[in-house]
Structure 1
Amino acid sequence: MFEDICRLLNDESSEGSYGIKIQPFGPDDGLPGNPTTVDSITVKRSYKTELDLSGVEGGTISNVTLAGQNTSGVGLALSNCKEVSLDNVETRDNDWGGIGLFTHEEFSSVELTNITISNHTAANGESIAPIYLDPETDNYNLSSLVPSYQYKITSEDYRDGDFQFFFETRSAANAYENVLESDGSISASVNKR
């Protein structure tokens, strides 16, 4: 039965569908967040993001492959989540990037904070951002987001100017900076966090 549900969730012809979406019953419903555990799964070919978490408080995502095959979204989206650990997560072929960190009004009572990532593999190469922050609101704690990723790229020219891209090494950040600036319309800068 679980396999049948996953097949339905992964129907790429269902416009607007996510691979797997985890969130409380309603925005700011006051329910205590039960810790979320996702372990040892592969999600592929969903129409939007493969694995989407919104308003999750406490969780572990481990041994997960998010194979978009040109999904219109990211491999893993974390919106207004806190205390979530990712370990051994592979993202590939998702049009927006590997892991997206977001804030929005719907779950505004939960601050985006304490997201830890270890052993993330972004198989898209340099052209897709492996990890980025796209805040709609300022309800996030930057110092506690992906603390092992010590380099970030910012650009006032990219979209609405508040995106931040995170990298473990300066060389990876410099390589992505070159990708962003390759068409000549964007100026970006690499900084140590």
Structure 2
Amino acid sequence: MPRGTYSLHDPHDRAPLGEERFHCAPGPTGWRYVSTSTAPDGADAGSVDLTLDALGRPVRLELRAGGWQVRGAALDGVTWVRMAAKTGEDGQERNAAARAFTGDSPAFLIATARLLRPATTGAAARVRLIAFAPPVLAPRTRTEQWTLTGRDVHTADGASLAVDTYRIDDLDTGERRTVHLSGDVVLAAPGVELEELDTPPSDFTPAG
């Protein structure tokens, strides 16, 4: 069960955005990721609780940030409710023809890679996602294309570490990112740095 800390920053000017402390683990029916985030001043900045099924679909999502909470799942596309975190007021169920959710947490990079499962270098897949943007978790539709550009195995001290490199194109804005994943841990991505990792990544490499 990997446990660690990601530091988050603005990918454009590198202004610090805080830290995300996480633990995650695969299970017999899927994968779960749980984290809490703090702002640069140490204040609570929210949490993520995401569970995927064996096919990478989100069977349970709970997000909290900015006084708001989102609960969602893959149901008739994806379905979610956004509400005030403390009172549950202003909750309204919404649905969209998308395959999964995304957001600022590194969890969603792992989740989307698991959902798409590219099998060979050069393989590409498009996916429609519902993104929740901080600080108030406002939803918007995003269409991305993921291309597996490299799959390497690094060996050190007798242990092997498989690293997948993806190019992610936001087809709505033209923005392009490159991310490096190993199992269920993000090694590097724009705005994300892995600061601490207590145990090695789980064997979570997407399979064809």
Structure number with higher relative contact order (C-alpha < 8 Å, ≥ 6 residues apart): 2
Instruction: Considering fraction of residues, name the structure with more helix.
Output: 1
Q: Return the TM-score normalized by structure 2.
A: 0.27
Instruction: Considering fraction of residues, name the structure with more strand.
Output: 2
